[in-house]
C-alpha cells in the first residue's frame, strides 16, 4: 500500500464532499466506525415500538436502533452500541422511561436523554420480552431462564418471580385493566400462562397449542386473550375460565403477529410465511379485509397509540402504515435490508453493486455520491451472490432459489436465466474474457457456464464435500485465463480443477480446518485462501506450493480479495475486516464496525476504497489512503 500523499488526500476529500452534496441520505454517515466513509443499509429490522404520543417510531435493527418521525417517515437518529442492537425494549405509558433489555438485565433510561436511571438485575439468562403495566408502575420481563419477573419501576425492586413455564418465555403482555398478565412459552413449552398481577398466582395454563406460541394479545375489555403460533389457527380464550371461545382457521402458517383494534371489533394478523395482512371480524371470525403490498413475510404488527393507523414490518425491508378502514397504504419507510453477501465495484469504478436489499434485488449505486441508480429484481429467493463481468457490461446474480440471472447493466434487461443448481448459489466468478462463469452451489456442485449461450460446459460434483445443511460455506475462484477453478472445501483442502477435463489438477493441503474463501490474484499467479483456522495462506497458482502464511486473525476468515495491484489482501472475518501486505505477510490495518460475519470484501479499481458486505445487512466503505504500512 502506498503511503499517504497529497493526491490521495484530495481524492478522498472530493469523495467525502460528494456525500455532503449528493443525493444520498445523511444517515449513511451517522455513527460510522473509525476509518469508514459511508454505510449503506439500515440493518435488518426486528420489531418496533411507538412512543406513547405516537410521534416517534423506535425500530430495532441488526446495527442499532432507528428513531423515525412518524408524520414524515424520515430518520431522526441512530442509536448504536451493544445495548441498542436487536434487544427488546418498551416505552412507559407516560413516555418518560425507556426500558431496554441487555442480555440478562434491564436498563431503565430517560426517554429523551437516554441517561440511565436504573439497572434491573435478576434474570440468569437472556431476556426476550418486556412490557410496562398500563399505569407504568411495574415492568414485566420474560426470558430464557423460563421465569416471568415483575419489577417496581420507581425503586427498581424485584416484586415477584412467576414460575410456571418449562422453557424460554418469548412474550409477555398486561391486560388493559392491569390486573392480569399473559406470558407465552416457546420451543419445548407450548403454553400460555395467565397470572394475577397483584398476587403472582398462576390462574390458568393454556395447553391447546400443538406447537410454539409466537404471540398473545388481550382484547381492549381485558376479557379475551387471543393466541397465534406455528400452526394455522388463531385461538380466542375466555380469560376468566380459560375456555376456548372460538378458532379461526387461516391459510397462514406460523401466525406471528396479532393486534386488536382499539374498539376490539377487529383483529389484525401477520405471518412469517405470508406476504399479506389479514383483518378479521372478532365477533364472527369473518375475514374483512386483506392488505396487500409487502413483497415478503410480515413479521410484526401494531396500531399507533390513537388506534387509527395499522403499522407493519416485513422481511422485504419496509415498514408500512395503513388506514385499516379503507385498506389504503399511507406511507412506507424503506432501507432495512437483508444480508449483504456480495459487494463489488464496477470495473471503471463508477458504480458500487451490493446484494443487501430485502426485496431480493441487486442494487447499483453511484460510487461517488451513494445515490441508488437502479435495481435488478426478479429472483424469488434471497440474493446469495453477485459479480460484474470484466467489461462491466453484464451483472450475474445468484439466489437462494438456485437460479443465476444475467443482467444488462446499462438497460437493466434480464439477458438470461441459468438453471442448474438444486439449491442456492453463494459464489460466482467470471473468467477474464467474460465468456465463462463459474458458480458454486449449496447442492455441492460447481457449474461452468458458457456465457454467450448460457449452456453448461462442465459440472464438478466430486470431492467438494460441503455440508448439505450449510448456508454459509462454499467459495470458488475462476482463474483469469478461464482454464482452472479453485474450489474451497470443508476438509481444509483447496482443489484446482481443469475446466476442460473436469479432473483435479492439484490439491493444496495445509489448512487445519475447513476453507471458506479463495481468490486468485489479478495476474493469476497467486491464490489466497482463508478459513476456520483463522489463517490466510498464499499459494503458487501454477505449482501449488505454499508461498506464505499470514499471522492468525481473531476469527474465522469468511472472505478474501486482492487489491487491483496485487500488493494487498483484504479479508473479512466473523466481525472485522483486515488489510494485509502481500510482500511481508503482515496485517497493516483492522477495521471494526460490522456486527455479523463479513461475507464479501472488494477494492475500488484505484485501490483507495474498500467495500465490505456483512450478515448485519449493511455495506461499509473504508478509506484505505490513511493506512501506513
pLDDT at 371: 86
| Segment 367-406, tens digit of pLDDT | 888 888 999 988 888 888 999 999 999 999 999 989 999 9
pLDDT at 196: 96
How many degrees, rounded to 5, is the angle at CA 553 between CA 356 and CA 626?
70
Rounded CA separation 533/530 (Å): 8
Whether 508 contacts 493, CB under 8 Å: yes
Banded pLDDT at 11 (limits 50, 70, 90): very low
Cell for 313? 414490518
Compute the residue count for the chain.
Answer: 629
pLDDT of 4 over the 60 cut? no
pLDDT of 246 over the 90 cut? yes
Strand order through the sheet with 319-322? 298-303, 310-314, 319-322, 329-333
pLDDT of 519 over the 70 cut? yes
Q: Give the residue among 98, 94, 114, 113 at the shortest CA–CA distance from 52.
A: 94
Q: Give, as one character, the DSSP assignment of residue 550.
A: P
Q: Following DSSP, what letter does each residue of 170-207 receive, concatenated?
A: EEEEE-TTSSEEEEEE-TT---EEEEETTT--EEEEE-
HSE at residue 397, side-chain half, CA atoms within 13 A, is: 33
Element (H, E) at 6: helix 6-21
Task: Name the phi and psi angles at 6, rounded to 5.
Answer: -60, -40
pLDDT over 90, % of the chain = 70
Mapped onto helix, strand or coil, the DSSP state of residue 54 is: coil
The mean pLDDT value of the chain amounts to: 89
Rounded CA separation 468/340 (Å): 22
Q: Does domain 250-330 have CATH number 3.40.50.150?
A: no
The average pLDDT across 149-153 equals 97
**Using alpha carbons only, how large is the chain's radius of gyration in Å?**
26
Rounded CA separation 317/382 (Å): 12
The average pLDDT across 484-503 equals 91
Whether 144 contacts 128, CB under 8 Å: yes
- Residue spans per domain, the chain: 250-330, 343-623
Mapped onto helix, strand or coil, the DSSP state of residue 9 is: helix
CB burial readout 63-89, b (16+ within 10 A) else e: bbbbebebeeeebeebbbeebbbbbbb
| Segment 277-305, tens digit of pLDDT | 999 999 999 999 999 999 888 889 999 99
| Segment 73-112, tens digit of pLDDT | 999 999 988 778 767 889 999 999 999 998 899 999 998 8
Task: Name the phi and psi angles at 509, rounded to 5.
Answer: -115, 130
Rounded CA separation 58/50 (Å): 6
Which region among 134-148, 169-183, 455-469, 557-571 has the lowest average model confidence (pLDDT)?
455-469
Q: Give the residue among 191, 245, 253, 250 at the shortest CA–CA distance from 216.
A: 191
CB-count exposure of residue 112 (10 Å: 0-12, 13-18, 19+)? exposed
CA distances from residue 374 to 39, 366, 377, 408, 452 in whole angstroms, order as listed: 18, 10, 10, 12, 24
Q: Give the residue among 421, 451, 415, 457 at the shortest CA–CA distance from 436.
A: 451
Whether 338 contacts 44, CB under 8 Å: yes
pLDDT at 629: 57
Q: Following DSSP, what letter does each residue of 600-619 receive, concatenated?
A: EEEE-TTSSEEEEEETTS-E
Rounded CA separation 317/44 (Å): 7
3-state SS, 136-177, equals CCEEEEEECCCEEEEEECCCCCEEEEEECCCCCEEEEEECCC
What pTM was computed for the model? 0.85
How many degrees, rounded to 5, is the angle at CA 204 between CA 198 and CA 207?
145
Q: Give, as one character, the DSSP assignment of residue 231.
A: S
Task: Name the phi and psi angles at 103, rounded to 5.
Answer: 60, -110
3-state SS, 273-307, equals CCCCEEEEECCCCCEEEEECCCCCCEEEEEECCCC
| Segment 417-448, tens digit of pLDDT | 999 999 899 999 999 999 999 999 988 899 99
The fold of 343-623 is Methylamine Dehydrogenase; Chain H (2.130.10)
Please write down the long-range contacts of 273-278, taking CB distance under 8 Å and 24 or more positions apart. Answer: 273/297, 274/298, 275/314, 275/316, 277/301, 277/310, 277/312, 277/322, 278/250, 278/252
Rounded CA separation 91/136 (Å): 9
Cell for 534? 483463522
Banded pLDDT at 25 (limits 50, 70, 90): low
Banded pLDDT at 316 (limits 50, 70, 90): confident
Amino acid at each position: 500500500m502506498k503511503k499517504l500523499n497529497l493526491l490521495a488526500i484530495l481524492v478522498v476529500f472530493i469523495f467525502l464532499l460528494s456525500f455532503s452534496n449528493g443525493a444520498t441520505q445523511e444517515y449513511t454517515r451517522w455513527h460510522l466506525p473509525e476509518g469508514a466513509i459511508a454505510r449503506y443499509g439500515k440493518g435488518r429490522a426486528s420489531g418496533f415500538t411507538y412512543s406513547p404520543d405516537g410521534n416517534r417510531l423506535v425500530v430495532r435493527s441488526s446495527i442499532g436502533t432507528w428513531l423515525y418521525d412518524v408524520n414524515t417517515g424520515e430518520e431522526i437518529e441512530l442509536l448504536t452500541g451493544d445495548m441498542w442492537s436487536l434487544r427488546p425494549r418498551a416505552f412507559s405509558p407516560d413516555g418518560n422511561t425507556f426500558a431496554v433489555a441487555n442480555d440478562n438485565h434491564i436498563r431503565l433510561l430517560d426517554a429523551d436523554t437516554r441517561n440511565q436511571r436504573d439497572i434491573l438485575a435478576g434474570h440468569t439468562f437472556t431476556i426476550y420480552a418486556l412490557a410496562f403495566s398500563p399505569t407504568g408502575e411495574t415492568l414485566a420481563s420474560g426470558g430464557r431462564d423460563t421465569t416471568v419477573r415483575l419489577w417496581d419501576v420507581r425503586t427498581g425492586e424485584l416484586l415477584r418471580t412467576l414460575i410456571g413455564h418449562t422453557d424460554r418465555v418469548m412474550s409477555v403482555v398486561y391486560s388493559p385493566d392491569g390486573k392480569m398478565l399473559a406470558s407465552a412459552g416457546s420451543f419445548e413449552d407450548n403454553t400460555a400462562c395467565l397470572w394475577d398481577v397483584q398476587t403472582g398466582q398462576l390462574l390458568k395454563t393454556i395447553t391447546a397449542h400443538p406447537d410454539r406460541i409466537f404471540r398473545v394479545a388481550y382484547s381492549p375489555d381485558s376479557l379475551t386473550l387471543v393466541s397465534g403460533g406455528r400452526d394455522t389457527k388463531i385461538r380466542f380464550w375466555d380469560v376468566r375460565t380459560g375456555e376456548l371461545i372460538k378458532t379461526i382457521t387461516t391459510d397462514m402458517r406460523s401466525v406471528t403477529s396479532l393486534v386488536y383494534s382499539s374498539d376490539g371489533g377487529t383483529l389484525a394478523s401477520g405471518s412469517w410465511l405470508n406476504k399479506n395482512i389479514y383483518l378479521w371480524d372478532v365477533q364472527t371470525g369473518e375475514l374483512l379485509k386483506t392488505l396487500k403490498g409487502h413483497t415478503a413475510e410480515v413479521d410484526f404488527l401494531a396500531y399507533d397509540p390513537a388506534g387509527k393507523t395499522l403499522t407493519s414490518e416485513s422481511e422485504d425491508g419496509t415498514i408500512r402504515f395503513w388506514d385499516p378502514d379503507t385498506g389504503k397504504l399511507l406511507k412506507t419507510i424503506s432501507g432495512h435490508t437483508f444480508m449483504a453477501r456480495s459487494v463489488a465495484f464496477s470495473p471503471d469504478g463508477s458504480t458500487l453493486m451490493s446484494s443487501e436489499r430485502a426485496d431480493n434485488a441487486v442494487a447499483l449505486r453511484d460510487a461517488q455520491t451513494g445515490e441508488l441508480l437502479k435495481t435488478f429484481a426478479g429472483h424469488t429467493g434471497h440474493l446469495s451472490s453477485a459479480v460484474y463481468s470484466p467489461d462491466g457490461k453484464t451483472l450475474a446474480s445468484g439466489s437462494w432459489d438456485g437460479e443465476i440471472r444475467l443482467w444488462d447493466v446499462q438497460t437493466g434487461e434480464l439477458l438470461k436465466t441459468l438453471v442448474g443448481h438444486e439449491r442456492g448459489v453463494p459464489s460466482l466468478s467470471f473468467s477474464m474474457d467474460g465468456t465463462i462463469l463459474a458458480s458454486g452451489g449449496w447442492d455441492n456442485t460447481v457449474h461452468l457456464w458458457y456465457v454467450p449461450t448460457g449452456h453448461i460446459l462442465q459440472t464438478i460434483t466430486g470431492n467438494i464435500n460441503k455440508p448439505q445443511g450449510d448456508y454459509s460455506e462454499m467459495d470458488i475462484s475462476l482463474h483469469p485465463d478461464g482454464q482452472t477453478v479453485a474450489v474451497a472445501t470443508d476438509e481444509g483442502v483447496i482443489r484446482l480443477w481443469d475446466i476442460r477435463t473436469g479432473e483435479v489438477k492439484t490439491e493444496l493441503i495445509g489448512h487445519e480446518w475447513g476453507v471458506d474463501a479463495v481468490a486468485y490474484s489479478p495476474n493469476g499467479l497467486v491464490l489466497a485462501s482463508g478459513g476456520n483456522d483463522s489463517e490466510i495462506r498464499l499459494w503458487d497458482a501454477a505449482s501449488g506450493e505454499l508461498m506464505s502464511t499470514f499471522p492468525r486473525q481473531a476469527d474465522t476468515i469468511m472472505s478474501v480479495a486482492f487489491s487491483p495491484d496485487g500488493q494487498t489482501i483484504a479479508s473479512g472475518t466473523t466481525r472485522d475486516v483486515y488489510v494485509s501486505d502481500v510482500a511481508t505477510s503482515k496485517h497493516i490495518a483492522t477495521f471494526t464496525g460490522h456486527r455479523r460475519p463479513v461475507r464479501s470484501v472488494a477494492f475500488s479499481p484505484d485501490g483507495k476504497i474498500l467495500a465490505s458486505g456483512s450478515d448485519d445487512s449493511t455495506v461499509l466503505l473504508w478509506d484505505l489512503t490513511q493506512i501506513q504500512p
